[in-house]
Each structure stands twice: as C-alpha cells, then as structure tokens.
Chains A and B, each alone.
Chain A
C-alpha cells in the first residue's frame, strides 16, 4: 500500500503549509445530542405505547365530544316508556346503545359521563399528589436537618391504614367529588414525596450541586434549576401511573360505599351497579362496558408511563 502512493506523482505545491485557524480546532468536537429529542425518538420506537397513546387521546376526545353528538340521552334521566313504566335493564339496542340500567338510565351516556368524572378526579388527584409530593420530597431530601422530622411525620401518616383515613374523611365531609379528591390526595402524596426524596438524596451530593453551594446559590434556585429538571422524566412517569391508580382508588371507595353518591355517575358507581348482575348472563353487559373502559384506560396509561420511563433513561438513548 505504501509503495504505490509513493510512486504516485503528488503535486509539490501540496507540501506547503496550510492555513491554520485555532477556532476550527475548538468547533470540531461538537455533538448534536438533545436529551428530549432522543427521549421522544426512543418512545416512538415502542409501537404498542404509541398505539395506546392514540387510543387514550381518542378516548379523551370522545368523552369531551360525546354530549354534543346528536341523539344522545342524558346520563341521569330515567327513561320511561309510553305508559310511564321505567325502561329497566334493557339490553343494548339501536336506541340505547349500551342498554339501560336497573332504573332505566342510558348506560352509554352514563359511561361517558362517568369516564369524564373519573378522569377528572384521577387527573386532579394526580396533579395535587405531584405538587405536594415534589415540594415536600425535595425539602425532605435536600435539607439534612429536616430529614428526621419529616421522616417521623411520614411514618406516622403511612402507618395509619389508608382505608381508615378515607372512611373518616368520608364521614366528616359529605360524599361528593371534592370529598373524594381531598380524601385521595391526603393519603397519596406520601409515596410521591418518598420517591422524590430518595432521588434528591442521590443527586444532592453530586459535584454540580456542591459547585452551586460554593457559588452561594440559595435553596430555591438549587431546587428549581438543579434538582427539578432531573426529576421531570421520573415525575412524568409517576403521573402517568398515578391516574389509573387514582381511578382504581375511586372505584374501590365506591365499592365499599364511601365513594361518590349514586346520582353522580362515575366508573366506580357503574361498576358497583353492574356487579350485582354478574350472575345473570343476560344483564352482564352492565358490568362489562364500564369494566372494559376502565381496563383500557388503566392499561394504556400504565404501558405509556412505563414506555416513557424507559425512553427518558439516557442509557437507552442509543
């Protein structure tokens, strides 16, 4: 290989010195990596998660749009026939697409109304949980002196069974959407706070945080600029999982009778009503439809949340 290049005629002028710009030396190491873009790319590679994302978005849009479609019945109106008799337990038909329940209400519209309510509760609780959890968790993890105090508070709260707290709150306040939101928020912020605290402890003593301390950066700016950005991906994962969990909680509470009152449709209420007919094959549809909707929501958020969690891990950005 060496020989043929040597014998090859090379123009002597090429052996002069080239122009040298030190600036070019500084620029050649540039790499174009963007964290969020890579996260998005890895997420989009997960076909199932993307499909479920579509499903959830469609579902959400539909719950909003449904009341404005033509020929929709009211979710709480008790439908009567020509003689004034309640149209109870009608199977799915062209008039009532999902049939009617035991007092004659249209299940189709009840499901969408109930999904709206449940999603609203789930989202609200999720966000409250997030804000309180991050705030408490960051302080808990970062300020060493407060660690033992907050740990004690945490231990006390978590040692009381959540069911008891929920029942207490349900007794004290009247059953309603606000009550259930308060009840769930009070018991659920602790796990998010603990989670955030553990993360903060891991990154608290990393060199870039030590550097900020040496530069005199105050706590609030360390929290917002140094800690929070690292928590964002983890937080979004937890939020995605919090929503189905909150809905599940609501279903459970309604199951044990301290959830929403019957006149506010929710997935919990619907499932509770439907379960009475589990032994009656012809009426099982009343359980099937709300359960199906709940399952779709839960599975979708769960899969998406996990896919996002994996995508936001820089180790997977290959």
Chain B
C-alpha cells in the first residue's frame, strides 16, 4: 500500500493526439492522476480507451500534446536535459504486452538483458556485467545458461520473464507494465504475477499496471483508474471500486467480467453502458471526490445521485 504517501509520478491534464493537422485523433483527453511510491496503480479500460497511450506517454514514446508528467517533482515530458533524460531512462522502465514481439529475435538473451546497462554503462567490467545478467535471470526464475540462447527457443512465459529481467537489471523505481500477462496462457499468468509481486516487495518498486482484465487488476492493484474513451471516469482504492462502483461504465465493466462459477454465470444479468445516459449539455461533468479515496467524473446532478447511493449502503 502507499506507505509514505510520497508522490512518485504526477500526471496533470495529459492530452495525447495522433495524426496530422487534418485527421487528428485525440487519444487521451486531459487525464490527471498521482502515483504514490510503493503502490500498484491500475489503469483499466477497453481497447481504444487510451490506457496504453498514457503508459507510452509516461515512457516518452508518445509525445504529450498538452499537460505535463512529473517524476519526483521534475517535469519529464517535452525537451529535458541530458542528465534528467539519463535518470528517467534508468528509473522508469516498461514491460511490454507481446512477448513474441518485444524481444529482438536476432539477438542473444545475453544482449537483450544487458541492453540497458550497455547504454548507461552501468557496469564495471565484463565480469560484473555477466554477473548482473545472471542475477537478473535467476531473479525471474530463469536459468543462467539461457543467456547464450535466442528468444525463439523459449515459450511465451519465459520470453515475458526475459522482458522483465531486462527491466530489472536497470534497477528502476517505477515500472509501467503494459498488459504484461494478456498474451500469456492462463497457467503462466500466475507465475508472472507472482514474480512481479515478489519483486515489488523486495525492491520497493512502484507499478503502473495497464490492463483490460478487471479480475487480474483487482488482485494485484492498490488503486484503480477506469478509463473510457480518453478520460478517467472513476478512480478509487481497488476494493472500494469493486464494492461500490458508481459510474455506469465501471458498473458495466465489472458486470461483464466472467467469473469461474458456472451457476453464478448462468444467472448473471449483464449491465450495458450507454453513453447517452449522461446529459452533459448544460451541466458539465467535473472530477470530484465522492468519498475517501474515491473520485468520479460526474456533473452536479449525478453527484447527488451517487451520494444518495453511498448513503443508502452504509
């Protein structure tokens, strides 16, 4: 959980656009949130919601059209100094979604894992580098002899762990995990999740977990932000979100998640989200705090409704 309430990452009014002047597509429409040191922050949404774009904007792969991203108080988007660039490269790292596409097929595992420390020259000599690679591989449950092999010799789960080793060797503070288990088999997901959680405990890592699978997110995150079409609609502490989902989109998302219980599933009634249920013509929505650790995007009319629902539950 958030031990020291120290803000590691601040995202303020982030806006990300794609395409030229003619066919501009706004993927992220003004998103703001904080990530505290040591926590696992979940960014949940369906395809096209913009969650991956936010993750990539934090990694500076995508440019922010407006707004700012601050790491430990310093702005990291836009043009930054070489020292800050180096610090950010070291301290913020990313785990990618597709283990088949995120490793260089023509390079040995040894090079893939060492790539970051080669760039930042974070090792004393060849023996030191080799030792670091070995440690990174064993930390994720792989055997050191795998270093001399090529990615195609491994399974999806092993490749994803190589991707994690490559991140670990940099000794980062913040890790953006972009759907790290969606492309893996069910039984392998548990393995990778366990590794991620161990590493967090051992090294005090902070995760931003981007996902579309709510069931996974509930299990590993401390706080969750639900994203719909480029805007955060609800942000709450994980358990609170699942116990009291207020925004209709969150409710639809939660009701649609399949549970491994045949009888419950057969009797389930799914809620469908219809964006026209909001009337935002006159009464514009704002980002408000509806209860402790629970924020929502709503207009005045809806706030009244939500507060009533909360009170009736108490």
Contacts and interface: CB of A to CB of B under 8 A. Distances in A.
Q: Do A and B have CB atoms closer than 8 angstroms in the complex?
A: yes
Interface of A: 23, 26-27, 29-33, 35, 206-208, 210-218, 221, 225-226, 229-230
A215 B116 contact: yes
A214 B61 contact: yes
Given A26-B158, A214-B59, A207 B106 contact: no
Contacts of B104: 208, 212, 225-226, 229
B250 interface: no
10 contacts: A23-B143, A26-B141, A31-B152, A208-B101, A210-B56, A211-B163, A212-B115, A215-B115, A216-B119, A229-B104
Interface in B150-194: 152-155, 158, 163, 166, 170
B116 A216 contact: yes
B106 A230 contact: yes
Contacts of B119: 215-218, 221
Contact of B94 (A26, A33, A214, A218): A214
A38 to B, nearest CB: 11
Nearest to A26: B143
Contacts of B61: 210, 213-214
Contacts of B155: 29
Contact of A216 (B86, B103, B154): B86
A208 B141 CA distance: 22
A211 B106 contact: no
A33 B154 CA distance: 10
B142 interface: yes
A218 B86 CA distance: 12
B199 interface: no
B98 interface: yes
B53 interface: no
Interface in B89-144: 89, 93-94, 96-98, 101-107, 111, 115-116, 118-120, 141-143
A215 B166 contact: yes
Contacts of A211: 94, 96, 102-103, 163, 166
A207 B97 contact: yes
A216 B103 CA distance: 15
Given A210-B102, A229-B107, 9 more contacts: A26-B158, A30-B153, A33-B153, A207-B102, A214-B93, A215-B119, A215-B166, A225-B106, A229-B104
B309 to A, nearest CB: 42
A210 B106 contact: no
Nearest to B88: A216
Interface size class, chain B: 35 or more
Contacts, number: 76
Specify the main secondary structure of chain A where it touches its partner. Answer: helix
Given A211-B163, A212-B104, A214-B89, A225 B111 contact: yes
Contacts of B89: 214-216
Contacts of B141: 26
Contact of A26 (B85, B106, B142): B142
B106 A229 contact: yes
A189 to B, nearest CB: 25
Contacts of B96: 207, 210-211
A32 B143 contact: no
A218 B118 CA distance: 10
B194 to A, nearest CB: 13
| Closest 8 pairs between A and B when the two form their complex, measured CB to CB | A229-B106, A216-B89, A207-B102, A215-B116, A216-B119, A207-B101, A29-B155, A208-B104
Contacts of B166: 211, 215
A221 B59 CA distance: 20
A210 B59 CA distance: 10
B120 A216 contact: yes
A107 B266 CA distance: 89
B170 A215 contact: yes
Contacts of B105: 35, 208
Contacts of B94: 211, 214
A217 to B, nearest CB: 5
B46 to A, nearest CB: 20
Contacts of B86: 216
Contacts of A214: 59, 61, 89, 93-94
Interface string B190-223: 0000000000000000000000000000000000
Contacts of A226: 104, 107
Contacts of A29: 154-155, 158
Nearest to A34: B150
Contacts of B158: 26, 29
Contacts of A229: 104, 106-107
